A and B are shown apart, each in its own frame.
Chain A
């Protein structure tokens, strides 16, 4: 692989930029691989990269459409590790540390920007909960800073701090190491680096069935023929239930939509990520200058990738309530991704009841931040057959044993998160 660098760019420029080559190959699928990964999103590609880097195995990534065209390329790119439950903290902090070195690791600028992830508190009880979470995070060695109302006002001067504010602001909690990254670059960077290590990335290749004999998986059927493998990993996000269904499995997953919205680009006005303890709306500004907005999921089962319009009004209303200046902007685009909402809000990283068939899914509306860590642990699982210690709390049987990982504490209803 030719390295990307400022020098290479300069030299290429002098030669009229004729030096560019495709960033990865497009090989024909072979008859057999040690490991097949179904799904060419960030998680599948990160898994392939760490597999090829840390283990001597042949790997193929099979992607139904194009790389990163699923939730990886549709998300609002917030990266942070400041969850409340210890199992999330451990996995997401491992991930955040990988994010911090990712551009160098991949020789690809993923534009990881640690601009801070701020949670607003709107009441005394919000502030109590934020303080409690912050204490728990600091005990776990993760950065968290409680902020006064004045400090929040200084950090984000455009927030409505008046006494008539729709969402009065009492203070906040910030993770300064949190921030955003360029979603497409994450998929492309992992793909390019994995390809350079010999991973076959095969697009336009939909998995349509599994070869299973004697309770073990031995390969997959695809739109481009049958392929054998010793181990298979399902990493298909919103399609987890459907693909697992092809192997006769039922998951604790309901597929719902999450939407995102962007405004026209403007000069820098918000240089941190704004979230809230009580309102679902979250706001950041992309490097292009667009204001990126998200909110509640659509809360009913659908694979359609078409969001309900009522959410546009709701999210815009909340965003303008927090930052009134946003009312001047035109909304340019909205879109939706099919998220794999689980029955406790946590991911599922485990071997399925079918031997050698593994799954990493159920990341709901929050798995972009986990891309690196999720790929890291799943690579080890697919190489050795054993679930990585950081992933063990996210087992399939936790719903039967009662060891739920319910960060939001809302019970078995995916549409109430």
Chain B
């Protein structure tokens, strides 16, 4: 289980969080169809570093940007989500 250091609450168990989606799949409402299909329906799915949107759903409920390794599970950074990031 991951130990996620929420910038607002401190270190908490993964059980309090929901993974939402990879950052690369977040799109604006007005993107062209081809880009929409590409971004919504494909994934880099790296066996390695991954940038993701999570939510501290059973805590402060903040949206978080987490950079994480998908094999070692080492968490490089956790930051409160800024929509433009």
Contact = CB atoms under 8 A, between A and B. Distances in A.
Interface in B1-45: 1-2, 13-15, 18-22, 37, 40-45
A253 B50 CA distance: 14
Nearest to B43: A254
Interface residues of A, number: 26
Contacts of A399: 37, 41-42
Interface in A216-253: 239, 241-242, 245, 250-253
Given A308-B1, A308-B14, A309-B1, A250 B37 contact: no
B52 A301 contact: yes
22 contacts: A242-B45, A245-B44, A250-B42, A250-B44, A251-B42, A252-B41, A254-B43, A255-B45, A299-B18, A300-B19, A301-B22, A301-B52, A301-B70, A306-B73, A308-B1, A309-B1, A399-B37, A399-B41, A399-B42, A412-B40, A415-B19, A415-B20
A400 interface: yes
Interface in A299-318: 299-304, 306, 308-310
Contacts of B46: 241-242, 245
* Majority DSSP secondary structure for residues of B touching A: mixed
Given A301-B70, A304-B73, A308-B14, A241 B45 contact: yes
A299 B71 CA distance: 15
- Interface magnitude class on chain B: 20 to 34
Nearest to A249: B42
A254 B24 CA distance: 12
B73 A302 contact: yes
Contact of A252 (B14, B22, B42, B50): B42
Contacts of B42: 250-252, 343, 399
B44 A400 contact: no
A250 B43 contact: yes
A402 B12 CA distance: 40
A310 B1 contact: yes
A400 B37 contact: yes
B45 A253 contact: yes
Nearest to A314: B15
A302 to B, nearest CB: 5
A400 B72 CA distance: 33
Nearest to B15: A310
What are the 4 tightest A-B residue pairs by CB atom distance, in nearest-first order?
A241-B45, A300-B19, A399-B41, A250-B42
A245 B43 CA distance: 10
Nearest to A413: B21
B45 A254 contact: yes
Given A300-B19, A304-B73, A251 B43 contact: yes
A20 B44 CA distance: 46
Nearest to B71: A303
A255 B70 contact: yes
A242 B45 CA distance: 7
Nearest to B24: A250
Contacts of A302: 70-71, 73
A335 B12 CA distance: 24
